[in-house]
Amino acid sequence: MAGNNNEDRVRIGVIGGSGIYEVDHLKTIDEIYYETPWGYPSSKITIAEDPCGFKIAFLSRHGKGHKYNPSEIPTRANLALLKNIGVEVIIAFSAVGSLREEIKPKDFVLPDQIIDRTKGIRPSTFFEDGLIAHVSFADPFNQILSELIYKHKNVLEEEGSTLHQNKTLVCMEGPAFSTKAESNLYRSWGCDIINMTAIPEAKLAKELEIAYQMVCMSTDYDCWKQGEEIVTVEMVVNNMTKNTANSKKLLEAILPDLRQSLSDGKFESNKGYMNHSFITSKEVANKEQVKKLEFVFPDILNRLGFSSDWF
Ligand SMILES: CSC[C@H]1O[C@H](OP(=O)(O)O)[C@H](O)[C@@H]1O
Ligand SMILES: Nc1ncnc2[nH]cnc12
């Protein structure tokens, strides 16, 4: 079984969103499902192997069969479990609405910015209850990962889809879609695409020092565009069914490159900032919280002198 052991570590995580509930084109070699200090994840993690024997850890964001709405997803548990088994890089697929004429349904988008329009009801930090840290969220996605994915845009072009890069994503609460006034407001703010799941996923990945990039698949023009049908689940699912094959092709093209970049240490620059992000003093830190965080930060907490030896 995959675990914390450096030899066995599965370093790449893939999160599937609406329409992507499994990676059936890869060989399943293991399944992982255990409780984290933040509860159970949305689905078991599938460890799958590509034809070159390279492993990824796949997790379905809404659970198999799509049973969690965006506000109910146990995102802390999802990311904590991926981190606990050794994941350092996450490619997260998401179905999005397009707020721009040029981002056509079935196009792919790599956002580089987020505007958060969720309502604060989703737990969005690991640092609370007497053990506090603050991370920079200025760049919510990982640019090295984005560039690496963008290099493979020809795979999508061959299928008639364009891959757009460096766009702004607005994340709404849902589950109902936006009003026309909201959709037009987001356009006036400079937003290019809309979904319901980037927050808190991107924020929590940042707190865990995981290099994270959403790969968005446009399924509709939301409700702003005159002459176009207003978004429905049926529309999203139909376009996602067509998009799923392309997302698997893209993933296959990326994996060897990603494996090489990890071996070359290209993501090391994404690590180390948590050493300087804690602000709570050891004297007042909540020991229960320290124990919980050891699940995801065994080394850093030790180095900073927080230890569950207190117990
Ligand atoms: C099924 S339509 C709305 C739903 O689809 C997207 O999900 P995901 O990001 O997991 O692909 C969107 O964010 C909403 O959750
Ligand atoms: N129009 C839309 N709004 C929010 N999330 C979406 N996911 C797919 N289409 C969407």
Positions marked catalytic = 220, 222
- The pLDDT tens digits for 238-294 are 998 888 999 999 999 999 999 999 999 999 998 999 989 999 998 899 999 999 999
Checking phi first, is residue 118 left (phi over 0); if not, alpha (psi -120 to 50) or beta? beta
* Residue closest by Cα to atom 5 of ligand 2: 195
* Residue closest by Cα to atom 9 of ligand 2: 97
Instruction: Tell me the domain boundaries of the chain.
Output: 10-302
Whether the ipTM is more than 0.90: the answer is yes
Cα–Cα distance measured from residue 88 to residue 57, given in angstroms and rounded to the nearest whole number: 11
221 belongs to an annotated ligand binding site: yes
pLDDT category of residue 9 using cuts at 50, 70 and 90? confident
222 belongs to an annotated ligand binding site: yes
> In percent, how much of the chain has pLDDT > 70?
96
Residue 131 Cα to ligand 1 middle (Å): 32
- The pLDDT tens digits for 139-152 are 999 999 999 999 99
How much is the average pLDDT of 92-98? 98
pLDDT category of residue 1 using cuts at 50, 70 and 90? very low
- CATH number for region 10-302: 3.40.50.1580
Name the nearest CA neighbour of 54 among 198, 283, 253, 287.
253
Give one DSSP letter per residue of 102-114, joined into a string.
Answer: TS-TT-EEEEEEE
pTM, 2 dp: 0.95
217 belongs to an annotated ligand binding site: no
User: Is 18 touching ligand 1 by the criterion CB < 6 Å?
Assistant: yes
- Residues touching ligand 2 (Cβ under 6 Å) are 95-97, 172, 177, 194-196, 219-220, 222, 231, 236
Cα–Cα distance measured from residue 94 to residue 170, given in angstroms and rounded to the nearest whole number: 13
* Residue closest by Cα to atom 9 of ligand 1: 94
Cα 296 off chain centre by: 17
